[in-house]
Structure 1
């Protein structure tokens, strides 16, 4: 290994603290990077238990009726406000406390069921889905996961019913995608009874309407001159809480109350610390895992709306004496939307099931879901926009609003570029550590190191020579399953080659990281689609041909996904990266005109 200077070592240490703070078990996504197919994480395709499915169906019936009768997305966009009546209605139905335990006033639903609810809201109104996500999936979620019994008893009953609203306050001027760069300070009082908070937060959804905010601030580390991030429960009635901007004007999701506030010597009781002191970053990253899952559900709903609108227009709009649906380039867009919507729903369901099963590490899967679904939704909206042509540009159709609303998805809850690097670096850490064991043993042999290096080498060699088995029950899917297994093998080989070729500098090589992450995301998406198709075919076999699934969209997605994976891996050795970076550097070096 090349000798790194002190600053470089510090950067690596900080990156590891941020990226690898969680458990390091071999989950499905991490397994892909090591050439493994961890089948029991994704197969059989998860289903909501029958008893809860009945309750969910009843809830969805009532919710859809309420949304169709009382929710006006265009008016919410025009007025830049979600009416209190809508919020109260969502509270009555139980949407605002869907996964909270019944003992605290919630519905006690699973994350899978919650995602089905968010999908229906996402089909209709992005502002409302973002509001619900901010309140429930990241707002009160921190309290559900890290709160004490006393904190839950105090806050959850009113938050779960919508009598009170929650918000999650992480973002600052210097802490956006760089979540570890929080600057808000919290110093303990002399008697230790409370903390005094100072600083500003911005771009906080629900800030101006929340009754409880989970706020991240820096606290001193006892016995050290360092600080660490701690989560606090803050209420807007605390002296020194100042709302600087209640509703920041913005391009899309205008119905949400996105605010900016300051805390000036705000005294927060020590009892309001959420989770262990100094572990606020873990609180934040864990909560965002849940938020990204429901993010996927909302995007799935919007993608289905795009598909419905595209099909409707293609079947009715005539040009050149035939309907648009007779033109191949229109068919291409519709087919792509159908394939992507199917994959988005499949990924969301599988990822939500990992949470419901209590598996310990799903941060890679949630990051993949967030990037994949937000990018695909943007493409879906662009395609349906193009099918409608000039009419889509005007406000009497929902498409221009949907386009404005969708753009934030690639930025919020972790910018896609940051998450793309996150996926690649976290995924490659496992095989990277195994290579390090082998290298260290070669440089400084010892009995202990020899044992570890032997285990690492055995694992690396096994993954290199063995194509993983992708078990499916349906004969008609075995060709796709074999292709997927071979692509996982090729992906593992490519990861090994990247690590051996670049070593530590890979931490900065974001274009290479992007190709690795894109291939990994398509492998995960393809797995979810294959698992779902296998389950649906088996279900149809048991229940007769009438229940046979439409395989066209899934088949198309798998074919296109496999092609993208091959392209991503080929790009690791056949690319224009040097020319690209040279062109960018040339532009950046020019003085401003």
Structure 2
């Protein structure tokens, strides 16, 4: 990548992410070798009584009214299911009560998505697309008039919403949107022209948030703007209502086109040129509910795999007697515990009003979707040939889970994103120190800030606070890893400087190590809270303790491996072989 391209990407990042780049959230602190205890504690408690009751009602509705086999076979979610979800309040769960919503917190909403994710992947994705990234944009960025006009019927489920960002040339590269919105001569609105594809709910939506390029007055540049669009606008075309696909077949994934479609100026969402920022903000919420859906599916797999391993006899023994099966079961149980911990910790960050949670949500999305894929695969392996046939749910769950690693930010793209954004502030501080040393007059305060942030972790690891004495050793292990990670990030930046942008092998390792540290922090915090307040029986407490500690121990080794690979790897051989192929 050229220096010009790097500078252009940095300007775009500054413009899109705005002040969030200057805020230090929990994960950004890890890149400095810091552990910001106050940002995690306390771990979210059990949901309110009325929310717990709603979770029970939704579970019963799923068992009685949602047939995932029929939805997959017929490639459609029946209207009666959508109506039922609306009556339960699921489709307006987090929307304001003034609009008919339930005003649930993000943490409480995730409880609902966990139930849906454990029952039917198509229905969970439908709800996530409608609620998490549809009306959420209107709640966060819409004016009073827009909220009054659109939210009530979206909350009830009378109207379905969609979020139209992806195009033939704009998938993971969201900034490459080519759909245009040209201002009309009379100033009353815009004419939209372009195409959208792979839009969940696109062909059945009553309201869509559409991203399109608007010109910047006085220049040749254009920026992305968000528009509220309805399918009755002249020029709106559903090119393909339901695209046939591998998994989540019940959702209507659509291709759309706009032909000189007039959109009133009143339908601009937020400000002109704010569209990409709107998109990235609402995707943060959607990525959190990915974690909840994956947690539900993972729990379904663990229950089934445990039961099968206990009862299936081969070679005169139950499957659970064999160590290779034990290894799969232990990983599944620990990863599911960690997935739940990370999901609700991340949702609680959003509920707390924290200004910076984009790295946490990106990490949760990547890690939970990768882990669910492994868990489903191991479940199929434990069941053997039985799981390969369509009278069992696991092949459908496998097909449904694959899109999770692509949608709402492809996992490899998000890995590079988390590493680069996480390292940005460390790099800026290092640059400031160099400039202060070269030009000390009036700049030595920068050296002081850097020293105060870094010297502590040089001489002593950060404090990882726990209330339970039996977790002090686990906290000490995590503390030392965080310090080592911060040192390795600084070493990488000193070695590669600006060229780190192009070192994706290294970015992937940094992202994976940082993600493991974040998930481990969530696990430790959850376990610490549980040891203080849990009223579970002795067996359940032992299972939780072993699950959490197994995850912490294995995660520790994975972090150490990733950090070791930063300096001892086969990158040159990988590149040489790959170059012969492309």
Q: Shorter-normalised TM-score: what interval? A: over 0.9
Whole-Å separation in 1 of the counterparts to 2:581 and 2:537: 63
* Counterpart position of 2:333: 338
Residue 459 of structure 1 is aligned with which of 448, 453, 463? 453
Alpha-carbon shift at residue 545 of structure 1 (Å): 5.6
- 1:184 aligns to 2:179 (yes or no): yes
Query: Which ranges in structure 2 are unaligned for 5 or more consecutive residues?
Result: none
**Conserved in 2, the CA contact under 8 Å of 1:434 and 1:457?**
no
* Counterpart position of 2:308: 313
Matches within 5 A, 1:42-121: 42-48=40-46, 53-121=48-116
Per-residue deviation, residues 388-446 of structure 1 (Å, max 9, x unmatched): 11111110101110111100000000000000001100110111000010122234x04
Alpha-carbon shift at residue 552 of structure 1 (Å): 1.1
Alpha-carbon shift at residue 338 of structure 1 (Å): 0.3
Alpha-carbon shift at residue 372 of structure 1 (Å): 0.6
Per-residue deviation, residues 570-590 of structure 1 (Å, max 9, x unmatched): 1111111111111111221xx
Alpha-carbon shift at residue 61 of structure 1 (Å): 1.5
Indicate how the Cα distance of structure 1 residues 488 and 441 shifts in structure 2: closer, same or farther if over 3 A, else same.
same
Whole-Å separation in 2 of the counterparts to 1:544 and 1:209: 48
TM-score (structure 2 length as normaliser): 0.97
SS in 2 for 1:172: coil
- 1:538 aligns to 2:529 (yes or no): no
**Conserved in 2, the CA contact under 8 Å of 1:344 and 1:373?**
yes
Indicate how the Cα distance of structure 1 residues 567 and 18 shifts in structure 2: closer, same or farther if over 3 A, else same.
farther
Alpha-carbon shift at residue 21 of structure 1 (Å): 6.3
**Conserved in 1, the CA contact under 8 Å of 2:122 and 2:249?**
yes
**Conserved in 2, the CA contact under 8 Å of 1:127 and 1:253?**
yes
**Conserved in 1, the CA contact under 8 Å of 2:17 and 2:277?**
no
* Counterpart position of 2:370: 375
Alpha-carbon shift at residue 225 of structure 1 (Å): 1.6
Whole-Å separation in 2 of the counterparts to 1:61 and 1:227: 49
SS in 2 for 1:266: strand
Query: Which ranges in structure 1 are unaligned for 5 or more consecutive residues?
Result: 589-593
* Counterpart position of 1:36: 34
- 1:526 aligns to 2:524 (yes or no): no
Residue 235 of structure 2 is aligned with which of 240, 244, 249? 240
**Cα RMSD (Å) of the superposition?**
1.6
Indicate how the Cα distance of structure 1 residues 415 and 5 shifts in structure 2: closer, same or farther if over 3 A, else same.
closer
SS in 2 for 1:119: helix
Alpha-carbon shift at residue 13 of structure 1 (Å): 3.2
Whole-Å separation in 2 of the counterparts to 1:8 and 1:227: 19
Whole-Å separation in 1 of the counterparts to 2:217 and 2:460: 50
SS in 2 for 1:231: strand
Matches within 5 A, 1:248-397: 248-397=243-392
TM-score (structure 1 length as normaliser): 0.96
- 1:484 aligns to 2:501 (yes or no): no
Matches within 5 A, 1:420-435: 420-435=415-430
Whole-Å separation in 1 of the counterparts to 2:177 and 2:454: 39
Q: How many residues align?
A: 581
**Conserved in 2, the CA contact under 8 Å of 1:367 and 1:419?**
yes
**Conserved in 1, the CA contact under 8 Å of 2:14 and 2:21?**
no
Indicate how the Cα distance of structure 1 residues 548 and 339 shifts in structure 2: closer, same or farther if over 3 A, else same.
closer
Whole-Å separation in 2 of the counterparts to 1:280 and 1:112: 26
* Counterpart position of 2:217: 222
Whole-Å separation in 2 of the counterparts to 1:238 and 1:492: 53
- 1:169 aligns to 2:164 (yes or no): yes
